[in-house]
Structure 1
Amino acid sequence: METKTPTCQNCEKPYEEGFEFCPHCGQKTNEDLTIGVLFYNTISNYFSFDARFLKSFIPLMFRPGYLARKFLEGKRLLFLHPAQMYLFVSVIFFFILSFSTREFVARADKVNKDVVNSDKVNKTLDSMQLEKVALDSIKTSKVIKSIKDNKELLGLTDEDFKASDSIINAAIANNNSGPSFAWDFNEKKVDSLISINAEEKLIFKEMGMKDDVEEDGFQYKFFKYMLDRKKDRGKGFGSVIQGFFDAIPISMFFLLPMFALFLKLFYFRSGTYAHHLVFSFYYFSYLFTTLSLIFGINRFIYDIPNWIDWLVALSAFLYFYIALLNFYKRNWFFTLIKSSIITFLFFMAVIPVALLIIAFTLYWEIN
C-alpha cells in the first residue's frame, strides 16, 4: 500500500504524514488561517526577541566578552544575535540622543541668529573695512609722494606724473577687487529688499557681490549661504550640527568594521574576520547601552554629576580590556598593551572621520 506523503505549503517539500511541523522549514502543517494564526508569528517573534534580550542584557553589561565567546561556541539561539543586539541598542541610543540634540541645535540657531543680527558685529566689520581703506590710502600717498619728489630725477613731466598717479591708484584698486566677504553693506537696504522678496542677484549686488560672478562659483554660493543665514530660514549653524549628528549612525557602518579590522590585525591567528566582527558588535552594543543609560538618566530622571559621567565613560576601556582577556584568552600584560594601541588607533581614525563629516555637511549646506 502506497504511503501518503503530504507536501508543505510553504517550502513545497514532501514529508511523512503525522508530522505537526514541516521537518524542512518548521512551518506548522495543515493550519487553517484564523485571527490567532495571523498574529501568532508576530507575537511569538516579539516575545522571543524580548526574552533573548533580557537573557543577554546582564551578561552584556557585567560579563565582558562572554556573549561573543558563547556565540562562537555555537549557542546562537539562547542569546540575542550580535548584529540584532547592536541595531536594537543603537536605535534606542540615537532616539534618546535626539532629545539632547534638538536642544543643542536650538541653542546653536539662536546664537547664529544673534550673530547675524548683531549691530556690534556689523560695526566691527565696518570699522575693519574702514581701517583697511585708510591703510591703502596711506600706502598710496607714500608711493605717489616718493615719485613726485623724484620726478625730475626720473625724467617725468607733469603729464607723466598724473598718468602714473592714475595707474598706481588703479593698480591698488584692482588689488582690492578680489572676492570680498566683508559685510560693509547697508543693512536696512538689504532688509528692505528681503522684505519685498527682491531677486537674489539684486540683494547680492547690494551686499557687495560683483556682476561678473558665475552662479556655479564658490563666491556666489557663499553669498547665497550668508543670505540664507540672514533670512533666518532655519539653516543656521544648528543645521550643520544637526547634519553632523545625523551622520553619526552612517559613520558607524564604517567605524565598526574598522574596529574589527584592528582586532584582526592584532589577533590575526584567532579566527576569521567574522569572529572579530562578532566581538565588535557586542562591544559597541555595550557602549551604546551605557551611553543610553547616561543620557536617559541625565535627560529624564536626574542630572548626574559630570565626574560620574566621565568615570562611566572611561570605564569602557576597562570593559574592553577584560572583554579581550575573556574572548581571546591571551596574556594579561600583552592584552593590556594591545587594548591600549587598538583604542588609540581607533580614536585616531574617529577624528578624521568626524572632520570629514563636518566638512561634508558644511559643503552640503553651502551647495
Structure 2
Amino acid sequence: MSVGLLLRDAIEDQFAINSALPRTLGALVFRPGLLTTEYLAGRIARYIPPVRLYLVASVLFFLLLSLSSFLRSESAPASGGGIGSTEDLQVLDVRIRDGAAFFGVQTDTETAPDTVIVWLNLGHDRINERAAARIREMGGASPGQIGRAVATAALGRAPAGMFVLLPVFALLLKLAYARSGRFYVEHFVFALHTHAFAFLLLTLSLPFADTPVQAVALLWIAAYSFLAMRRVYQGRFLGTLVRFLGLVFAYSVLLSVVMMGVFTVAIVFG
C-alpha cells in the first residue's frame, strides 16, 4: 500500500465526515427519531454512525463539564477561618454510621472547630472501611477540597458508567416493545441517538449552570425522547406515553444506582 493511497483514503474519510456532519446534526436536533429510522432503513452512509456520534457527544460533554468545574473552583473565593484553611484543620474524623446519608463532609463547629468530619454509609462494611482509609489519607484537607477530590474522581468515571447504562436502557426498550418484533440492536441504536442528543443539549446548557435554562434543557430532552419514540416505534399517543413514563421511572432508578456506584468507586479508589 502506497503513501498516496493512505492519504487519499484519509482525505476521502475526512470529506465524508465533513459532509455528513451538518446533515447528521440537523436530523439529530430538529427531527427526533429520524436518524434511527434512517439507520434502520439502511441509509447509513449519509450520516455519522451512531456509536461515533454518541462517543463524540459524550466525550465533549464530560470534557467541557470537567473544564467548567475546574474554572468554577478556581474562580471561587477562598474561604477563611477554620473551614477553608488547611493549616487550621488538624484532625480528619471519618464516621461510619447506620442511617447516614450516602456521603457528606462537614466541620465540627461545636466541640472541635479544627476537625473535619466525613460521614458515609456505602452499604457494606469492607467498602466502608476501605473508603474510610482512603479519606483518612487526606488528613488536613478542607471540606471543599475533600468534596472536590471525590467529585473529580467520580467525573472521570462517569463516562464509563453512562456507557454501561446504554445497553440496559436498550433492554428496557426491548421489554417495553416486546411485541414489536424488533431486534435488540434496533433499540440500542435508538438509545445511542437519544443519548447523543441529550449530551449535546447538556453541553450547550453548561454555561447556564444553576439557572432555569438547565431545567428547560431536561424538559426538552424528555419531550425529544417521547417524540423520537413516536417516530421510531409508530405507536399510538397513549400507548407511547405509558411506555415513556415507565421508561423514565426505570431509567431514573438505574441512573441513580449507576451514579452511586460511580461515587462509591471514586471514594474507595480515588
Structure 1 length normalisation: TM-score? 0.58
- For the 8 Å contact 1:56–1:67, the answer to whether it is kept is yes
The residue aligned with 1:358 is 263
- The one-letter code sitting in structure 1 at the alignment partner of 2:10 is T
The residue aligned with 2:84 is 114
CA pair 253-110 structure 1, distance change in 2 beyond 3 A: farther
The residue aligned with 2:38 is 70
Residue identity over aligned pairs, in percent, reads 23
- For the 8 Å contact 1:82–1:278, the answer to whether it is kept is yes
RMSD: 3.4
Aligned partner (choices 129, 140, 154) of residue 230 of structure 1: 140
Q: CA–CA distance in 1 between the matches of 2:14 and 2:245?
A: 39
The residue aligned with 1:244 is 154
Q: CA–CA distance in 2 between the matches of 1:312 and 1:237?
A: 26
Query: Mean alpha-carbon deviation: is it higher for 86-95 or for 245-254?
Result: 86-95
- For the 8 Å contact 1:105–1:241, the answer to whether it is kept is no
The residue aligned with 1:101 is 69
SS at match of 1:43: helix
The residue aligned with 1:124 is 110
CA pair 243-123 structure 1, distance change in 2 beyond 3 A: closer
- Which structure 2 residues correspond to residues 1-367 of structure 1 after superposition, within 5 A? 33=2, 36-104=4-72, 114=84, 116-118=86-88, 124-126=110-112, 222=132, 225-230=135-140, 236-270=146-180, 271-295=182-206, 298=207, 303=208, 306-365=211-270
Structure 1: gaps spanning 5 or more residues: 1-9, 11-32, 128-181, 184-215
Give the CA deviation at 1:80: 1.4
CA pair 114-83 structure 1, distance change in 2 beyond 3 A: same
Q: Which has the larger radius of gyration?
A: 1
Give the CA deviation at 1:38: 4.0
Query: Mean alpha-carbon deviation: is it higher for 100-109 or for 74-83?
Result: 100-109
Report how many aligned residue pairs link the two structures: 240
Query: Mean alpha-carbon deviation: is it higher for 218-227 or for 311-320?
Result: 218-227
Q: CA–CA distance in 1 between the matches of 2:76 and 2:146?
A: 8
Q: CA–CA distance in 2 between the matches of 1:102 and 1:73?
A: 43
Q: CA–CA distance in 2 between the matches of 1:62 and 1:242?
A: 34
SS at match of 2:140: helix
Structure 2 length normalisation: TM-score? 0.76
SS at match of 1:348: helix
Deviations along 1:123-158, whole A, 9 cap, x unmatched? 73349xxxxxxxxxxxxxxxxxxxxxxxxxxxxxxx
Q: CA–CA distance in 2 between the matches of 1:221 and 1:92?
A: 30
CA pair 53-72 structure 1, distance change in 2 beyond 3 A: same
Deviations along 1:101-141, whole A, 9 cap, x unmatched? 2235558996797175447x5773349xxxxxxxxxxxxxx
SS at match of 2:11: helix
Q: CA–CA distance in 1 between the matches of 2:148 and 2:210?
A: 27
- For the 8 Å contact 1:53–1:85, the answer to whether it is kept is no
Q: CA–CA distance in 2 between the matches of 1:221 and 1:313?
A: 33
- For the 8 Å contact 1:287–1:316, the answer to whether it is kept is yes
Give the CA deviation at 1:227: 4.9
SS at match of 1:230: coil
CA pair 219-82 structure 1, distance change in 2 beyond 3 A: closer
Structure 2: gaps spanning 5 or more residues: 90-106, 116-125
- For the 8 Å contact 1:56–1:80, the answer to whether it is kept is yes
Deviations along 1:172-210, whole A, 9 cap, x unmatched? xxxxxxxxxx96xxxxxxxxxxxxxxxxxxxxxxxxxxx
CA pair 336-227 structure 1, distance change in 2 beyond 3 A: closer
Deviations along 1:330-349, whole A, 9 cap, x unmatched? 11111011111101110011
Deviations along 1:206-264, whole A, 9 cap, x unmatched? xxxxxxxxxx9x879847743533178x9733211101111110001211111111100
SS at match of 2:139: helix
- For the 8 Å contact 1:240–1:362, the answer to whether it is kept is yes
Q: CA–CA distance in 1 between the matches of 2:233 and 2:78?
A: 50
